[in-house]
Chains A and B, each alone.
Chain A
């Protein structure tokens, strides 16, 4: 990740695009997931109603967030869950470290949680001497490769099975050159089984927390959250404040939408409810803000907190498919990440809202109807006004605005431009022109429409 910190999306995407067959493979793989999502969605005639319902439930949640969080806290405590509040990523990491340190635990198993990625928990704990093993298969693969996930639902979608074989050979002792997914999965299963059995602490994310009952729900396809949580003495759940839903009956709406949007499945293999600890064990939940309340206060961007992390916007996004998750250099990649990240650090992520054609497909697949592409447009305005754009671009835009505000100057510039295209093509057809690198410039016609129209009018008189 650190090597990516100085490069922006266009640069990272250009590196990814050096290997065109790989881009094609990445694009096809994610389009296949998008196609599965379409089939699943089109099987439900009430799909659009479900989306609208989910969106309205989330509107209610965002308008009454503190009430629902307090209700959840009271009910969770009543159930015997220990509740912690963290305002920042640092506080979140510290709370978790303290819980482990107190019990003398130095090894923890983790189920996939994008929030802990956002908080860089693994790196923090590693520095404190705590060993963390990610138990989701995809997460484990990227962890062994020393990379962050490139997709929130399919964390190692950017890796081919042969590459995974090499990683497993190096770290888990599988045979050299082995790339059979069945054999590789079995290798991971054996390895993780040992981990599950020996870890005293397990950390999971939270997909939905229910205010009414004080319970929380985790969705996994591999059952790894359950394995970790059931076998350990202490289960720590990390949850963003926006994960709350008011009542248990609302869960059905979200569970029906989540995996259909994510992978085209009717429902996750495991949708596990946690409401109280087993005898002699503990459940802790860390409720994290980390900039979310700031986003809640930004009227144009508050809707982004409705996100249920299905990843549908990534799978449909033509830019994501052709630039890869790592080009977004943030924990949550793709269109949704591009509207969440600038809230965390506007300067560092100033490039992301521009990494889009504003095609709008993301907003259409979003199961909770986040106006993603409109927010990308709005972030661009905010980022430019905040001064996080190159000076050359600002100058060019000022020149353009000046030219286009005056019909006379516009006509003169148009004429000059067409003249240049025609008689001095080398001035535009050169290496300094990013358009020309892969595309021919349009041919310049003899006359503009305006000129043609003036003559036509003249002739008609």
Chain B
């Protein structure tokens, strides 16, 4: 199974350890992982700001890098969703549509495609799971509290396989953290308030770590935690699933 690793730009630059964990985890689980080296960004920062028409260059570059693989796996729900919903190309629409079908967020890939039943991981801490909205409501990696439907959660299912890990409950299971791409700077007042409240919910329930399938939310929450000199740390779900003592 030829898997291409899609490492979003901000993960590449600021959180290489999450991408390394993703790569190692996929290899452990028997995938042949390739990292197309000329990848940059999915184009979401522009598109969500209303500049989708400027994403042609990113789209074509993405297609050049990722066409032809069995699967494309990404440790970020938000970027995955952007590719799934908005990757188009005048020159290569066939390849674009193929890629849209083959791109997966890491936890959904592990649960749905690899059908992982057990993991050699341990992480003896109390962990709060922040549901990133794009992973949750966009990719539907977990059930959403607004809908009347049976609950499930792909990341929680995987975290349940980790030895020693205690998942703490939250008062608001899937409230948005307020990152929202350029929203975090354009609407800094509301964005930071949302982030503070999200962090508080985890802290009140005794979380030592906040994890998520999306680093963009975690980057925002980490910024708030560090400003508060909090002991609580953020960690990408891949790092936990790849963690052993």
Contacts and interface: CB of A to CB of B under 8 A. Distances in A.
Contacts of A454: 37
Interface string B219-230: 110111011000
A41 B193 contact: no
B7 A449 contact: yes
A438 B194 contact: no
Contacts of B185: 434-435
B193 A48 contact: no
Contacts of A444: 13-14
Given A357-B178, A435-B188, A448-B12, A27 B197 contact: yes
A418 B60 CA distance: 26
Given A319-B187, A357-B133, A438-B224, A450 B148 contact: no
Nearest to B45: A400
A439 B137 contact: no
Contacts of B66: none
Nearest to A453: B35
B148 A41 contact: yes
A341 to B, nearest CB: 16
Contacts of A233: none
A400 B224 contact: no
B interface, how many residues as a size bin? 35 or more
A75 B199 CA distance: 57
A380 B16 contact: no
Contacts of A443: 14
B54 A401 contact: yes
A417 interface: yes
A322 interface: yes
Interface string B146-184: 111100000000000000000000001011101111011
B81 to A, nearest CB: 10
Interface in B1-46: 7, 9, 11-17, 19-20, 23, 35, 37-41, 43, 45-46
Contacts, number: 217
A407 B61 contact: yes
Contacts of B90: none
Interface of B: 7, 9, 11-17, 19-20, 23, 35, 37-41, 43, 45-55, 57-58, 60-61, 133-134, 136-138, 144-149, 172, 174-176, 178-181, 183-197, 219-220, 222-224, 226-227
26 contacts: A13-B189, A14-B188, A16-B189, A17-B193, A24-B197, A31-B172, A48-B148, A319-B187, A353-B50, A354-B50, A354-B186, A359-B180, A360-B138, A361-B176, A380-B50, A389-B50, A401-B43, A401-B51, A404-B9, A407-B39, A438-B192, A438-B227, A439-B195, A442-B14, A442-B15, A445-B17
Interface of A: 9-10, 13-14, 16-17, 20, 23-24, 27, 31, 38, 41-42, 44-45, 47-48, 316, 318-319, 322-323, 353-361, 363-365, 377, 380-381, 383-385, 389, 393-394, 397-398, 400-407, 410, 414, 417-418, 434-435, 437-445, 447-450, 452-454
Closest 9 CB pairs of A and B: A405-B57, A439-B223, A357-B180, A438-B192, A384-B50, A380-B50, A360-B137, A364-B146, A359-B133
